[in-house]
């Protein structure tokens, strides 16, 4: 992967094996309330971001909950998951330990709420590897729309784009980071299987698994 001073990590799907839980939030809301869902709707829900899911649940699926109620329930469910069950992706901790030993500075850049992020990283046992966290809310924009979150994290690490790599699993975030001039490592995520060909095409590096990466010693 070449030389680098800093790595900016997305959290869900990149560091943590949490995307299956996120993807099932929408379908579980409907199932619990006895709202029928078509196979097409189910597929759509499982490929949406959390910000896209809420209006889709309300407008297309007929979920009779306010945006605030849905967000509160999402936070409650994910807080329980992040507190008790979340795990890092296989091989990740070994990879992080090697990076830290080699003097690479690491930062988390995530769309997830700060409180949930801190809880998740601690439960997964990897919080001590990172010099800090920046969230989309703190950056003031979503990854789909702007690379501000990466720019902010990079500045905090006193790095530059030449010496920084962004690790991401989501196609929309990868597109944003690449368009802003960052080097990007795409991380395989099974819930986004349909996006893998485009991710491989766009990214400077592609990581099928951290276990394979560590074994190959190509980083």
Question: How many domains is the chain partitioned into structurally?
Answer: 2
Residues 116 and 181 in one domain: yes
Q: Going residue by residue through the chain, which has 219 residues, state the pLDDT in tens, using 9 for 90 and above.
A: 667 899 999 999 999 999 999 988 888 888 888 988 888 888 888 777 767 889 999 998 888 989 999 989 889 999 999 999 999 999 999 999 999 999 999 999 999 999 999 999 999 999 999 999 999 999 999 998 899 999 999 999 999 999 999 999 999 999 999 999 999 999 999 999 999 999 999 999 999 999 999 988 776
* Residue 124 neighbours by CB distance under 10 Å: 20
Structure tokens at 185: 């490592």
Beta bridge partners of 185: 167, 205
Point out the domain boundary residue: 29, 56, 84. Answer: 84
Which residue range is the domain that position 39 belongs to? 20-84
Examine residue 1 and state whether it is found in any structural domain, yes or no. Answer: no
Residues 188 and 96 in one domain: yes
Point out the domain boundary residue: 37, 63, 84. Answer: 84
Residues 93 and 186 in one domain: yes
What is the spatial distance between Cα 122 and Cα 132, in angstroms, rounded to a whole number? 13
Query: Does the reported pTM lie above 0.85?
Result: yes
């Amino acid at each position: 992967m070449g030389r680098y001073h800093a790595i900016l990590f997305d959290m869900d799907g990149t560091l943590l094996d949490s995307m299956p839980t996120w993807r099932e939030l929408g379908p579980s809301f409907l199932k619990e309330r006895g709202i029928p869902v078509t196979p097409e709707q189910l597929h759509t829900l499982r490929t949406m971001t959390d910000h896209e899911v809420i209006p889709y649940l309300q407008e297309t699926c007929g979920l009779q909950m306010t945006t605030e109620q849905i967000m509160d329930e999402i936070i409650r469910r994910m807080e329980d998951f992040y507190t008790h069950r979340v795990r890092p992706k296989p091989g990740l901790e070994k990879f992080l330990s090697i990076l830290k030993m080699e003097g690479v500075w690491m930062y988390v850049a995530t769309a997830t709420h700060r409180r949930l992020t801190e809880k998740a990283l601690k439960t997964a046992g990897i919080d001590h590897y990172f010099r800090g966290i920046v969230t989309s809310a703190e950056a003031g924009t979503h990854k789909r729309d702007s690379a501000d979150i990466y720019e902010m994290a990079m500045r905090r690490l006193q790095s530059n784009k030449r010496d920084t790599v962004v690790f991401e699993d989501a196609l929309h975030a990868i597109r944003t980071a690449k368009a802003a001039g960052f080097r990007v490592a795409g991380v395989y995520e099974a819930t986004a299987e349909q996006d893998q060909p485009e991710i491989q095409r766009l990214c400077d590096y592609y990581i099928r698994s951290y276990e394979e990466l560590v074994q190959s010693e190509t980083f």
